[in-house]
Amino acid sequence: MRRSKRILQSEDIDPMATVSNLFDIAMVFALALMVALVARYNMTEMFSKEDFTMVKNPGKTNMEIITKKGEKIETYKASNEEKSNGNKGKRVGIAYQLENGEIIYIPE
């Protein structure tokens, strides 16, 4: 019996290697997209260890307050409808902060 060495031909290349390379490219693209969105919308505070409060759409009917305390992030939407967590509310006034740091509240 004679053993012959077989030389790999171009047809012998694994076709699944191309699929795995496409998967790797898709994962890198998804990660780059997430980083770009976080940087674009200035949401880097979400990843810091500091507590913060952020107001989206201030003074409008769809205003939303986002609060981060430790690892927990809570949102509060000012509306007349009751939400799943039982919070409901409405706009009751406007608060202004002056240059010297004083806050003035004006009820509606």
Is there a contact between 56 and 47 (Cβ–Cβ < 8 Å)? no
Look over the chain and give the mean of its residue pLDDT values, rounded to a whole number: 77
Rounded CA separation 14/3 (Å)? 24
Mean pLDDT of 87-104: 78
Is there a contact between 53 and 41 (Cβ–Cβ < 8 Å)? no
Residue 60: both structure tokens together:
């409008």
Domain extents for the chain?
16-47, 48-108
Q: pTM higher than 0.75, yes or no?
A: no
**If DSSP codes are grouped into helix, strand and coil, which group holds residue 18?**
helix
pLDDT per residue as tens digits for the range 33-74: 999 988 887 777 667 777 888 888 887 778 888 888 888 888
